[in-house]
A and B are shown apart, each in its own frame.
Chain A
Protein backbone atom coordinates (compact mmCIF):
# COMPACT_ATOMS: atom_id res chain seq x y z
CA UNK A 1 0.00 0.00 0.00
CA UNK A 2 1.26 3.46 -0.85
CA UNK A 3 1.82 5.67 2.16
CA UNK A 4 3.66 8.84 3.07
CA UNK A 5 6.12 7.75 5.74
CA UNK A 6 9.15 9.05 7.55
CA UNK A 7 12.19 6.95 6.63
CA UNK A 8 12.49 5.60 10.16
CA UNK A 9 8.79 4.62 10.21
CA UNK A 10 9.19 2.89 6.86
CA UNK A 11 12.13 0.86 8.16
CA UNK A 12 10.22 -0.02 11.33
CA UNK A 13 7.38 -1.30 9.10
CA UNK A 14 9.83 -3.37 7.05
CA UNK A 15 11.35 -4.87 10.19
CA UNK A 16 7.92 -5.69 11.62
CA UNK A 17 7.03 -7.50 8.37
CA UNK A 18 10.23 -9.56 8.71
CA UNK A 19 9.07 -10.75 12.17
CA UNK A 20 12.25 -10.70 14.25
CA UNK A 21 11.70 -12.33 17.64
CA UNK A 22 14.10 -9.99 19.41
CA UNK A 23 14.72 -6.26 18.98
CA UNK A 24 17.36 -4.57 21.08
CA UNK A 25 18.83 -1.11 20.68
CA UNK A 26 20.00 1.93 22.56
CA UNK A 27 18.77 5.35 21.44
CA UNK A 28 21.11 7.51 19.41
CA UNK A 29 20.30 10.29 16.94
CA UNK A 30 19.42 9.92 14.07
CA UNK A 31 18.56 6.23 14.47
CA UNK A 32 16.19 6.56 17.43
CA UNK A 33 12.87 6.86 15.59
CA UNK A 34 13.30 3.37 14.10
CA UNK A 35 13.43 1.52 17.40
CA UNK A 36 10.98 3.93 19.02
CA UNK A 37 8.56 2.88 16.31
CA UNK A 38 9.24 -0.81 16.89
CA UNK A 39 8.93 -0.42 20.67
CA UNK A 40 5.55 1.27 20.20
CA UNK A 41 4.31 -1.47 17.86
CA UNK A 42 5.34 -4.14 20.37
CA UNK A 43 3.77 -2.26 23.29
CA UNK A 44 0.54 -1.75 21.30
CA UNK A 45 0.34 -5.45 20.44
CA UNK A 46 0.73 -4.82 16.70
CA UNK A 47 3.96 -6.75 16.54
CA UNK A 48 4.87 -9.84 18.54
CA UNK A 49 8.49 -9.60 19.52
CA UNK A 50 10.64 -9.12 22.59
CA UNK A 51 12.11 -5.62 22.97
CA UNK A 52 15.16 -5.81 25.22
CA UNK A 53 16.04 -2.50 26.86
CA UNK A 54 19.75 -2.08 27.44
CA UNK A 55 22.13 0.50 28.90
CA UNK A 56 24.47 0.87 25.92
CA UNK A 57 25.05 -0.05 22.29
CA UNK A 58 27.66 -2.58 23.39
CA UNK A 59 24.90 -4.40 25.25
CA UNK A 60 22.39 -3.98 22.40
CA UNK A 61 24.80 -5.68 20.01
CA UNK A 62 25.55 -8.35 22.61
CA UNK A 63 21.83 -9.07 23.06
CA UNK A 64 21.23 -9.62 19.35
CA UNK A 65 24.41 -11.68 19.09
CA UNK A 66 22.99 -13.89 21.82
CA UNK A 67 19.46 -14.06 20.43
CA UNK A 68 20.58 -14.98 16.90
CA UNK A 69 22.97 -17.53 18.45
CA UNK A 70 19.91 -19.21 19.98
CA UNK A 71 18.30 -19.33 16.55
CA UNK A 72 15.99 -16.32 16.76
CA UNK A 73 15.79 -13.71 14.00
CA UNK A 74 16.79 -10.34 15.50
CA UNK A 75 17.20 -6.66 14.75
CA UNK A 76 19.15 -3.71 16.05
CA UNK A 77 19.93 -0.20 14.84
CA UNK A 78 22.49 2.44 15.62
CA UNK A 79 24.55 5.38 14.36
CA UNK A 80 27.96 6.93 14.71
CA UNK A 81 29.35 6.68 18.26
CA UNK A 82 26.87 3.90 18.95
CA UNK A 83 28.35 1.80 16.17
CA UNK A 84 31.85 2.52 17.47
CA UNK A 85 30.84 1.41 20.95
CA UNK A 86 29.41 -1.76 19.37
CA UNK A 87 32.54 -2.34 17.33
CA UNK A 88 34.00 -5.13 19.43
CA UNK A 89 30.72 -7.04 19.25
CA UNK A 90 30.22 -6.18 15.56
CA UNK A 91 33.39 -8.11 14.70
CA UNK A 92 32.30 -10.98 16.96
CA UNK A 93 28.87 -11.25 15.28
CA UNK A 94 30.49 -11.71 11.88
CA UNK A 95 33.20 -13.99 13.26
CA UNK A 96 30.57 -16.26 14.82
CA UNK A 97 28.69 -16.27 11.49
CA UNK A 98 25.45 -14.91 12.95
CA UNK A 99 23.01 -13.19 10.54
CA UNK A 100 22.15 -10.17 12.68
CA UNK A 101 20.45 -7.39 10.71
CA UNK A 102 21.24 -3.83 11.69
CA UNK A 103 20.27 -0.41 10.37
CA UNK A 104 23.06 2.12 10.45
CA UNK A 105 21.55 5.62 10.25
CA UNK A 106 24.76 7.10 8.93
CA UNK A 107 26.19 9.95 10.94
CA UNK A 108 29.53 11.68 11.45
CA UNK A 109 32.05 10.63 14.09
CA UNK A 110 33.20 12.69 17.11
CA UNK A 111 35.20 14.82 17.84
CA UNK A 112 33.99 17.47 17.28
CA UNK A 113 30.53 16.21 18.16
CA UNK A 114 28.23 16.24 15.14
CA UNK A 115 24.86 14.54 14.76
CA UNK A 116 24.53 15.06 11.00
CA UNK A 117 25.07 12.74 8.09
CA UNK A 118 28.16 11.28 6.51
CA UNK A 119 29.49 7.73 6.01
CA UNK A 120 32.42 7.62 8.40
CA UNK A 121 30.63 5.33 10.86
CA UNK A 122 29.92 2.48 8.42
CA UNK A 123 33.27 2.85 6.68
CA UNK A 124 35.05 2.45 10.02
CA UNK A 125 33.74 -1.12 10.39
CA UNK A 126 33.98 -2.03 6.71
CA UNK A 127 36.54 -4.77 7.48
CA UNK A 128 34.42 -6.47 10.16
CA UNK A 129 32.96 -9.14 7.88
CA UNK A 130 29.46 -7.60 7.69
CA UNK A 131 27.68 -7.22 4.40
CA UNK A 132 27.04 -3.48 3.90
CA UNK A 133 24.37 -2.05 1.61
CA UNK A 134 23.44 1.60 1.01
CA UNK A 135 19.96 3.01 0.31
CA UNK A 136 19.40 5.95 -2.03
CA UNK A 137 15.87 6.70 -0.90
CA UNK A 138 13.30 5.60 1.65
CA UNK A 139 11.76 2.92 -0.57
CA UNK A 140 15.19 1.36 -1.01
CA UNK A 141 15.81 1.54 2.75
CA UNK A 142 12.57 -0.33 3.34
CA UNK A 143 13.23 -2.90 0.62
CA UNK A 144 16.86 -3.54 1.52
CA UNK A 145 15.92 -4.58 5.05
CA UNK A 146 13.71 -7.33 3.66
CA UNK A 147 16.49 -8.41 1.31
CA UNK A 148 19.03 -8.23 4.14
CA UNK A 149 17.36 -11.04 6.10
CA UNK A 150 17.12 -13.16 2.97
CA UNK A 151 20.80 -12.64 2.10
CA UNK A 152 22.31 -12.89 5.58
CA UNK A 153 20.29 -15.93 6.64
CA UNK A 154 20.97 -17.86 3.44
CA UNK A 155 22.52 -21.16 4.65
CA UNK A 156 25.46 -20.67 2.29
CA UNK A 157 26.16 -17.20 3.68
CA UNK A 158 25.33 -16.90 7.41
CA UNK A 159 26.68 -13.39 7.79
CA UNK A 160 25.33 -10.18 9.34
CA UNK A 161 24.02 -7.38 7.13
CA UNK A 162 24.16 -3.64 7.81
CA UNK A 163 21.64 -1.55 5.87
CA UNK A 164 22.91 2.00 5.63
CA UNK A 165 20.61 4.97 5.24
CA UNK A 166 21.67 8.59 5.47
CA UNK A 167 20.88 10.13 8.82
CA UNK A 168 18.21 12.88 8.77
CA UNK A 169 18.12 12.99 4.95
CA UNK A 170 16.40 9.60 4.88
CA UNK A 171 15.69 8.77 8.54
CA UNK A 172 13.82 12.04 9.17
CA UNK A 173 12.57 12.72 5.64
CA UNK A 174 9.09 11.72 4.48
CA UNK A 175 8.45 10.13 1.11
CA UNK A 176 5.77 8.17 -0.64
CA UNK A 177 6.60 4.48 -0.21
CA UNK A 178 4.95 1.24 -1.13
CA UNK A 179 4.65 -0.82 2.04
CA UNK A 180 4.42 -4.48 1.06
CA UNK A 181 1.84 -6.86 2.44
CA UNK A 182 2.67 -9.52 5.00
CA UNK A 183 1.84 -12.16 2.39
CA UNK A 184 4.38 -10.70 -0.05
CA UNK A 185 7.11 -10.62 2.60
CA UNK A 186 6.25 -14.13 3.79
CA UNK A 187 6.49 -15.49 0.26
CA UNK A 188 9.91 -13.89 -0.21
CA UNK A 189 11.38 -14.45 3.24
CA UNK A 190 10.92 -17.86 4.85
CA UNK A 191 11.16 -18.31 8.63
CA UNK A 192 14.73 -18.41 9.89
CA UNK A 193 16.06 -21.95 10.10
CA UNK A 194 19.53 -21.66 11.59
CA UNK A 195 22.26 -24.04 10.50
CA UNK A 196 23.47 -24.07 14.11
CA UNK A 197 22.28 -22.63 17.39
CA UNK A 198 22.84 -22.66 21.13
CA UNK A 199 20.85 -25.62 22.38
CA UNK A 200 21.20 -27.41 25.72
CA UNK A 201 20.44 -30.72 24.03
CA UNK A 202 23.11 -30.22 21.42
CA UNK A 203 25.83 -28.10 23.06
CA UNK A 204 28.05 -26.00 20.82
CA UNK A 205 30.70 -23.37 21.48
CA UNK A 206 30.58 -20.08 19.57
CA UNK A 207 33.65 -17.92 19.21
CA UNK A 208 36.04 -20.10 21.22
CA UNK A 209 39.72 -19.44 21.80
CA UNK A 210 41.54 -20.82 18.79
CA UNK A 211 45.28 -21.00 18.59
CA UNK A 212 47.37 -20.12 15.53
CA UNK A 213 46.57 -23.54 14.06
CA UNK A 214 42.93 -22.58 13.43
CA UNK A 215 42.37 -18.82 13.41
CA UNK A 216 43.47 -17.94 9.90
CA UNK A 217 41.04 -20.38 8.25
CA UNK A 218 38.09 -18.85 10.10
CA UNK A 219 38.92 -15.44 8.63
CA UNK A 220 39.66 -16.90 5.20
CA UNK A 221 36.29 -18.65 5.21
CA UNK A 222 34.42 -15.36 5.76
CA UNK A 223 36.41 -13.78 2.97
CA UNK A 224 35.48 -16.64 0.63
CA UNK A 225 31.83 -16.38 1.63
CA UNK A 226 31.83 -12.72 0.62
CA UNK A 227 32.54 -13.89 -2.94
CA UNK A 228 29.38 -16.02 -2.76
CA UNK A 229 27.50 -12.95 -1.53
CA UNK A 230 28.52 -11.15 -4.73
CA UNK A 231 26.79 -13.92 -6.69
CA UNK A 232 23.75 -14.13 -4.42
CA UNK A 233 22.81 -10.44 -4.22
CA UNK A 234 21.85 -10.08 -7.93
CA UNK A 235 19.72 -13.24 -7.64
CA UNK A 236 17.96 -11.88 -4.57
CA UNK A 237 17.34 -8.65 -6.45
CA UNK A 238 15.68 -10.59 -9.29
CA UNK A 239 13.51 -12.60 -6.93
CA UNK A 240 12.56 -9.46 -5.05
CA UNK A 241 11.44 -7.85 -8.28
CA UNK A 242 9.26 -10.86 -9.08
CA UNK A 243 7.44 -10.63 -5.76
CA UNK A 244 7.39 -6.87 -5.15
CA UNK A 245 7.61 -5.49 -8.69
CA UNK A 246 10.53 -3.17 -7.96
CA UNK A 247 14.15 -3.47 -9.08
CA UNK A 248 15.61 -2.64 -5.64
CA UNK A 249 19.04 -3.89 -4.65
CA UNK A 250 21.89 -5.51 -6.50
CA UNK A 251 25.56 -4.61 -6.47
CA UNK A 252 25.64 -1.38 -8.46
CA UNK A 253 23.33 0.77 -10.56
CA UNK A 254 24.48 2.67 -13.62
CA UNK A 255 22.57 5.83 -14.51
CA UNK A 256 23.09 7.14 -18.08
CA UNK A 257 26.65 5.81 -18.21
CA UNK A 258 26.58 3.99 -21.57
CA UNK A 259 28.13 6.75 -23.65
CA UNK A 260 29.30 8.91 -20.74
CA UNK A 261 32.60 10.76 -20.75
CA UNK A 262 32.45 11.67 -17.07
CA UNK A 263 30.94 9.47 -14.38
CA UNK A 264 30.57 10.11 -10.67
CA UNK A 265 30.69 7.09 -8.35
CA UNK A 266 28.79 7.55 -5.08
CA UNK A 267 26.73 5.80 -2.39
CA UNK A 268 23.50 6.65 -0.60
CA UNK A 269 21.08 9.53 -0.87
CA UNK A 270 23.43 11.87 -2.73
CA UNK A 271 22.85 9.65 -5.78
CA UNK A 272 19.40 11.23 -6.13
CA UNK A 273 20.88 14.71 -6.32
CA UNK A 274 23.49 13.47 -8.79
CA UNK A 275 20.77 11.94 -11.03
CA UNK A 276 19.03 15.33 -11.20
CA UNK A 277 22.33 17.00 -12.15
CA UNK A 278 23.04 14.29 -14.74
CA UNK A 279 19.65 14.91 -16.40
CA UNK A 280 20.20 18.64 -16.36
CA UNK A 281 23.72 18.43 -17.86
CA UNK A 282 22.59 15.81 -20.40
CA UNK A 283 19.87 18.20 -21.59
CA UNK A 284 22.71 20.59 -22.45
CA UNK A 285 24.57 17.90 -24.36
CA UNK A 286 27.13 17.00 -21.69
CA UNK A 287 27.87 13.28 -21.57
CA UNK A 288 27.79 12.59 -17.85
CA UNK A 289 26.52 9.74 -15.71
CA UNK A 290 26.37 8.18 -12.26
CA UNK A 291 27.52 4.82 -10.91
CA UNK A 292 25.76 4.07 -7.63
CA UNK A 293 27.38 1.56 -5.32
CA UNK A 294 24.56 -0.30 -3.56
CA UNK A 295 26.64 -3.11 -2.08
CA UNK A 296 29.83 -1.79 -0.52
CA UNK A 297 30.77 -5.02 1.28
CA UNK A 298 31.54 -7.31 -0.37
CA UNK A 299 33.13 -4.80 -2.70
CA UNK A 300 31.83 -5.45 -6.24
CA UNK A 301 35.14 -4.68 -7.95
CA UNK A 302 34.36 -6.73 -11.06
CA UNK A 303 30.99 -5.13 -11.64
CA UNK A 304 32.50 -1.70 -11.11
CA UNK A 305 35.34 -2.50 -13.50
CA UNK A 306 32.92 -3.59 -16.19
CA UNK A 307 30.76 -0.50 -15.73
CA UNK A 308 33.63 1.98 -15.80
CA UNK A 309 36.28 0.49 -18.08
CA UNK A 310 35.28 2.53 -21.14
CA UNK A 311 34.63 5.78 -19.28
CA UNK A 312 37.40 8.36 -19.82
CA UNK A 313 36.98 10.25 -16.52
CA UNK A 314 35.66 9.00 -13.21
CA UNK A 315 35.07 10.91 -9.98
CA UNK A 316 34.73 8.96 -6.75
CA UNK A 317 32.63 11.09 -4.46
CA UNK A 318 32.60 10.06 -0.82
CA UNK A 319 31.23 11.18 2.52
CA UNK A 320 34.16 9.56 4.29
CA UNK A 321 37.89 9.94 4.76
CA UNK A 322 40.80 7.76 5.68
CA UNK A 323 42.77 10.34 7.62
CA UNK A 324 46.39 10.12 6.57
CA UNK A 325 45.68 8.32 3.30
CA UNK A 326 43.51 8.50 0.20
CA UNK A 327 39.78 8.10 0.75
CA UNK A 328 38.52 4.55 1.16
CA UNK A 329 36.24 4.09 -1.85
CA UNK A 330 38.71 5.89 -4.14
CA UNK A 331 41.46 3.52 -3.07
CA UNK A 332 39.32 0.48 -3.73
CA UNK A 333 38.12 1.62 -7.12
CA UNK A 334 41.64 2.37 -8.22
CA UNK A 335 42.68 -1.09 -7.04
CA UNK A 336 39.87 -2.61 -9.11
CA UNK A 337 41.75 -1.33 -12.16
CA UNK A 338 45.09 -2.83 -11.14
CA UNK A 339 45.99 -6.47 -11.66
CA UNK A 340 45.77 -8.40 -8.41
CA UNK A 341 48.97 -10.01 -7.28
CA UNK A 342 47.52 -12.87 -5.25
CA UNK A 343 44.96 -15.46 -6.25
CA UNK A 344 42.85 -14.81 -3.14
CA UNK A 345 41.41 -11.63 -4.59
CA UNK A 346 40.85 -13.07 -8.03
CA UNK A 347 37.08 -13.03 -8.08
CA UNK A 348 36.92 -9.58 -6.51
CA UNK A 349 38.96 -8.15 -9.33
CA UNK A 350 39.73 -10.62 -12.04
CA UNK A 351 42.86 -10.07 -14.01
CA UNK A 352 41.88 -7.25 -16.30
CA UNK A 353 45.39 -6.58 -17.45
CA UNK A 354 45.05 -2.80 -17.04
CA UNK A 355 44.55 -2.37 -20.76
CA UNK A 356 41.92 0.22 -20.20
CA UNK A 357 41.59 2.45 -17.21
CA UNK A 358 39.76 5.70 -16.69
CA UNK A 359 41.41 8.69 -15.09
CA UNK A 360 40.09 8.17 -11.56
CA UNK A 361 39.80 11.16 -9.23
CA UNK A 362 38.60 11.35 -5.66
CA UNK A 363 36.54 14.01 -3.89
CA UNK A 364 35.41 14.29 -0.29
CA UNK A 365 32.00 15.88 0.22
CA UNK A 366 29.31 16.44 2.80
CA UNK A 367 31.22 15.56 5.97
CA UNK A 368 29.25 16.24 9.14
CA UNK A 369 26.12 17.03 7.16
CA UNK A 370 27.49 19.88 5.04
CA UNK A 371 24.75 20.32 2.52
CA UNK A 372 25.39 18.88 -0.94
CA UNK A 373 23.77 21.12 -3.51
CA UNK A 374 23.29 20.94 -7.26
CA UNK A 375 26.24 23.33 -7.54
CA UNK A 376 28.41 21.00 -5.41
CA UNK A 377 27.82 18.19 -7.90
CA UNK A 378 28.34 20.42 -10.93
CA UNK A 379 31.64 21.46 -9.39
CA UNK A 380 32.76 17.81 -9.26
CA UNK A 381 32.04 17.28 -12.97
CA UNK A 382 33.78 20.57 -13.72
CA UNK A 383 36.95 19.68 -11.85
CA UNK A 384 37.40 16.40 -13.73
CA UNK A 385 40.31 17.05 -16.05
CA UNK A 386 42.97 15.03 -17.86
CA UNK A 387 44.98 14.41 -14.67
CA UNK A 388 43.76 12.44 -11.67
CA UNK A 389 42.93 14.33 -8.49
CA UNK A 390 43.28 12.44 -5.23
CA UNK A 391 42.16 14.44 -2.26
CA UNK A 392 40.04 17.45 -3.09
CA UNK A 393 37.29 18.57 -0.76
CA UNK A 394 34.13 20.07 -2.20
CA UNK A 395 32.57 23.12 -0.45
CA UNK A 396 35.49 23.43 1.96
CA UNK A 397 35.65 26.79 3.74
CA UNK A 398 39.26 27.98 3.59
CA UNK A 399 38.50 30.88 5.95
CA UNK A 400 37.94 28.37 8.76
CA UNK A 401 41.40 26.93 8.25
CA UNK A 402 43.30 30.17 8.82
CA UNK A 403 45.20 30.47 12.06
CA UNK A 404 43.74 32.81 14.64
CA UNK A 405 46.09 32.53 17.58
Chain B
Protein backbone atom coordinates (compact mmCIF):
# COMPACT_ATOMS: atom_id res chain seq x y z
CA UNK B 1 0.00 0.00 0.00
CA UNK B 2 1.19 3.50 -0.84
CA UNK B 3 -0.11 6.70 0.70
CA UNK B 4 -0.01 10.10 -0.96
CA UNK B 5 -0.86 13.35 0.80
CA UNK B 6 -1.58 16.51 -1.16
CA UNK B 7 -1.27 19.91 0.53
CA UNK B 8 -3.13 22.72 -1.19
CA UNK B 9 -5.55 25.55 -0.70
CA UNK B 10 -9.25 25.09 -1.38
CA UNK B 11 -9.85 26.07 -4.99
CA UNK B 12 -6.43 25.06 -6.32
CA UNK B 13 -7.70 21.74 -7.64
CA UNK B 14 -6.30 19.26 -5.13
CA UNK B 15 -9.35 17.03 -5.50
CA UNK B 16 -8.87 17.06 -9.26
CA UNK B 17 -5.22 16.16 -8.69
CA UNK B 18 -6.20 13.25 -6.46
CA UNK B 19 -8.85 12.15 -8.96
CA UNK B 20 -6.45 12.20 -11.92
CA UNK B 21 -3.80 10.37 -9.91
CA UNK B 22 -6.36 7.84 -8.69
CA UNK B 23 -7.57 7.23 -12.23
CA UNK B 24 -4.00 6.70 -13.47
CA UNK B 25 -3.59 3.99 -10.81
CA UNK B 26 -6.97 2.55 -11.81
CA UNK B 27 -5.78 2.30 -15.44
CA UNK B 28 -2.86 0.21 -14.16
CA UNK B 29 -5.23 -2.17 -12.39
CA UNK B 30 -4.69 -0.85 -8.88
CA UNK B 31 -7.35 -0.03 -6.27
CA UNK B 32 -7.12 3.64 -5.27
CA UNK B 33 -9.17 5.37 -2.61
CA UNK B 34 -8.95 9.13 -3.25
CA UNK B 35 -10.60 11.49 -0.80
CA UNK B 36 -10.49 15.09 0.39
CA UNK B 37 -10.35 16.65 3.82
CA UNK B 38 -11.57 20.18 4.11
CA UNK B 39 -10.64 22.52 6.89
CA UNK B 40 -12.64 25.73 6.80
CA UNK B 41 -14.90 25.14 3.79
CA UNK B 42 -13.90 28.23 1.80
CA UNK B 43 -11.61 29.26 -1.02
CA UNK B 44 -7.98 29.68 -0.03
CA UNK B 45 -8.20 27.71 3.20
CA UNK B 46 -5.54 25.04 3.64
CA UNK B 47 -6.88 21.60 2.77
CA UNK B 48 -5.67 18.11 1.99
CA UNK B 49 -6.54 15.53 -0.56
CA UNK B 50 -5.33 11.97 -0.23
CA UNK B 51 -4.77 8.92 -2.36
CA UNK B 52 -4.32 5.54 -0.70
CA UNK B 53 -3.63 2.80 -3.21
CA UNK B 54 -3.12 -0.94 -3.06
CA UNK B 55 -3.31 -4.09 -5.13
CA UNK B 56 -6.60 -4.95 -3.40
CA UNK B 57 -9.53 -2.72 -2.36
CA UNK B 58 -8.55 -0.24 0.36
CA UNK B 59 -10.58 -0.52 3.55
CA UNK B 60 -8.77 1.95 5.80
CA UNK B 61 -10.76 5.21 6.02
CA UNK B 62 -8.58 7.43 8.18
CA UNK B 63 -6.64 10.41 6.88
CA UNK B 64 -3.02 9.87 5.91
CA UNK B 65 -0.53 10.55 8.70
CA UNK B 66 2.60 8.82 7.40
CA UNK B 67 2.69 9.51 3.67
CA UNK B 68 5.07 7.77 1.30
CA UNK B 69 4.70 10.70 -1.06
CA UNK B 70 3.90 14.38 -0.61
CA UNK B 71 2.56 16.74 -3.24
CA UNK B 72 2.76 20.34 -2.08
CA UNK B 73 0.71 22.37 -4.54
CA UNK B 74 1.25 25.66 -2.77
CA UNK B 75 4.62 26.27 -1.11
CA UNK B 76 3.21 29.13 0.98
CA UNK B 77 1.66 26.39 3.11
CA UNK B 78 5.17 25.52 4.31
CA UNK B 79 5.04 28.67 6.42
CA UNK B 80 1.91 27.91 8.42
CA UNK B 81 2.37 24.32 9.46
CA UNK B 82 4.50 21.29 9.08
CA UNK B 83 3.59 19.70 5.75
CA UNK B 84 6.35 17.15 6.40
CA UNK B 85 4.71 15.82 9.55
CA UNK B 86 4.83 12.03 9.55
CA UNK B 87 6.62 11.96 6.18
CA UNK B 88 8.25 8.55 5.72
CA UNK B 89 12.04 8.42 6.17
CA UNK B 90 12.53 7.33 2.55
CA UNK B 91 9.62 9.34 1.17
CA UNK B 92 9.52 11.52 -1.91
CA UNK B 93 8.10 15.06 -1.92
CA UNK B 94 7.20 17.21 -4.92
CA UNK B 95 6.98 20.93 -4.17
CA UNK B 96 5.60 23.61 -6.44
CA UNK B 97 8.46 26.11 -6.68
CA UNK B 98 8.13 29.42 -4.86
CA UNK B 99 11.29 31.51 -4.37
CA UNK B 100 10.27 32.82 -0.93
CA UNK B 101 9.81 29.38 0.53
CA UNK B 102 12.92 27.23 0.76
CA UNK B 103 12.80 23.51 1.31
CA UNK B 104 12.15 22.60 4.92
CA UNK B 105 14.61 20.55 6.94
CA UNK B 106 14.24 16.89 6.27
CA UNK B 107 15.84 13.49 6.75
CA UNK B 108 18.76 12.48 4.50
CA UNK B 109 16.99 9.66 2.69
CA UNK B 110 13.93 11.75 1.90
CA UNK B 111 13.96 12.95 -1.70
CA UNK B 112 12.69 16.47 -2.30
CA UNK B 113 11.98 17.71 -5.81
CA UNK B 114 11.16 21.35 -6.44
CA UNK B 115 9.33 21.83 -9.73
CA UNK B 116 8.48 25.13 -11.41
CA UNK B 117 4.94 23.80 -11.86
CA UNK B 118 3.32 27.19 -11.73
CA UNK B 119 5.65 28.54 -14.42
CA UNK B 120 4.92 25.45 -16.53
CA UNK B 121 1.18 25.97 -16.02
CA UNK B 122 1.38 29.65 -17.02
CA UNK B 123 3.28 28.64 -20.14
CA UNK B 124 1.04 25.72 -21.15
CA UNK B 125 -2.40 26.51 -19.72
CA UNK B 126 -2.10 30.25 -19.25
CA UNK B 127 -3.45 30.07 -15.71
CA UNK B 128 -1.76 29.08 -12.43
CA UNK B 129 -3.23 25.56 -12.41
CA UNK B 130 -0.14 23.59 -11.47
CA UNK B 131 -1.73 20.21 -10.80
CA UNK B 132 -0.95 18.34 -14.01
CA UNK B 133 2.66 19.62 -14.10
CA UNK B 134 3.07 18.42 -10.51
CA UNK B 135 1.63 15.04 -11.44
CA UNK B 136 4.06 14.72 -14.34
CA UNK B 137 6.86 15.44 -11.87
CA UNK B 138 5.38 12.92 -9.43
CA UNK B 139 5.44 10.16 -12.04
CA UNK B 140 9.07 10.90 -12.94
CA UNK B 141 10.22 11.23 -9.33
CA UNK B 142 8.48 8.17 -7.91
CA UNK B 143 8.37 5.75 -10.89
CA UNK B 144 5.03 4.67 -9.38
CA UNK B 145 3.21 4.91 -12.67
CA UNK B 146 3.84 4.94 -16.38
CA UNK B 147 3.71 8.39 -17.92
CA UNK B 148 1.21 6.99 -20.43
CA UNK B 149 -1.20 6.09 -17.61
CA UNK B 150 -1.09 9.67 -16.34
CA UNK B 151 -1.63 11.04 -19.84
CA UNK B 152 -4.52 8.65 -20.37
CA UNK B 153 -6.04 9.78 -17.10
CA UNK B 154 -5.71 13.45 -18.10
CA UNK B 155 -7.50 12.66 -21.36
CA UNK B 156 -10.24 10.97 -19.37
CA UNK B 157 -10.66 14.08 -17.23
CA UNK B 158 -10.31 16.87 -19.80
CA UNK B 159 -11.34 17.29 -23.40
CA UNK B 160 -10.42 19.58 -26.30
CA UNK B 161 -8.01 22.40 -25.65
CA UNK B 162 -7.89 21.84 -21.88
CA UNK B 163 -6.77 18.26 -22.51
CA UNK B 164 -4.01 19.36 -24.88
CA UNK B 165 -2.75 22.01 -22.48
CA UNK B 166 -2.76 19.71 -19.48
CA UNK B 167 -1.07 16.89 -21.39
CA UNK B 168 1.70 19.31 -22.31
CA UNK B 169 1.97 20.53 -18.72
CA UNK B 170 2.27 16.95 -17.45
CA UNK B 171 4.98 16.13 -20.01
CA UNK B 172 6.94 19.25 -19.08
CA UNK B 173 6.68 18.42 -15.38
CA UNK B 174 7.87 14.91 -16.15
CA UNK B 175 10.73 16.07 -18.40
CA UNK B 176 11.90 18.55 -15.78
CA UNK B 177 12.46 15.79 -13.24
CA UNK B 178 13.88 12.97 -15.39
CA UNK B 179 17.44 14.39 -15.69
CA UNK B 180 17.47 15.31 -12.01
CA UNK B 181 16.33 11.86 -11.00
CA UNK B 182 18.95 10.03 -13.05
CA UNK B 183 21.70 12.51 -12.15
CA UNK B 184 21.30 11.95 -8.45
CA UNK B 185 23.15 9.08 -6.82
CA UNK B 186 20.90 7.28 -4.35
CA UNK B 187 22.40 8.76 -1.22
CA UNK B 188 22.65 12.35 -2.34
CA UNK B 189 19.06 12.68 -3.42
CA UNK B 190 18.32 15.03 -0.57
CA UNK B 191 17.78 18.17 -2.59
CA UNK B 192 17.40 18.09 -6.32
CA UNK B 193 16.58 21.56 -7.43
Residues of A within 8 A of B (CB): 4, 6, 29, 115, 137, 166, 168-169, 172-176, 269-270, 272-273, 275-276, 371-374, 376
Contact = CB atoms under 8 A, between A and B. Distances in A.
A174 B19 contact: yes
A169 B61 CA distance: 7
A6 B22 CA distance: 11
B32 A272 contact: no
B59 A272 contact: yes
A273 B62 contact: yes
B36 A176 contact: no
Contacts of A6: 19
B63 interface: yes
Contact of A115 (B33, B34, B41): B41
Contacts of B19: 6, 174
Interface in B152-174: none
Contacts of A168: 35-38
B61 A270 contact: yes
Contacts, number: 62
Given A174-B32, A175-B33, A371 B63 contact: yes
Nearest to A139: B57
Interface string B33-71: 111111001000000000000000111111101000000
Interface string B1-37: 0000000000000010011001100100001111111
A148 to B, nearest CB: 23
Contacts of A372: 61-62
Contacts of B41: 29, 115
Interface residues of B, number: 23
A174 B63 CA distance: 14
Contacts of A376: 62
Chain A at the B interface: mostly helix, strand, loop or mixed?
mixed
Contacts of A29: 41
Contacts of A371: 62-63
Most chain B beta-carbon neighbours within 10 Å: one of A29, A270, A371:
A371
A383 B32 CA distance: 33
A374 B58 CA distance: 14
Contacts of B36: 168, 172
Given A4-B22, A174-B22, A176-B26, A169 B35 contact: yes
A29 B42 CA distance: 13
B35 A272 contact: no
A174 B57 contact: no
A4 B32 contact: yes
Contacts of B61: 166, 169, 269-270, 272-273, 372
B31 A275 contact: no
Given A4-B23, A4-B26, A115-B41, A173 B60 contact: no
24 contacts: A4-B26, A137-B57, A168-B35, A168-B37, A168-B38, A169-B61, A172-B35, A173-B35, A174-B19, A174-B22, A174-B35, A176-B26, A176-B31, A269-B61, A272-B59, A273-B61, A275-B59, A276-B59, A276-B60, A372-B62, A373-B62, A373-B63, A373-B65, A376-B62
A137 B26 contact: no
Nearest to A136: B59
A329 B34 CA distance: 30
Nearest to B51: A174
A214 to B, nearest CB: 47
A173 B32 CA distance: 10
Given A168-B37, A174-B34, A275-B59, 6 more contacts: A174-B19, A273-B60, A371-B62, A372-B62, A373-B63, A376-B62
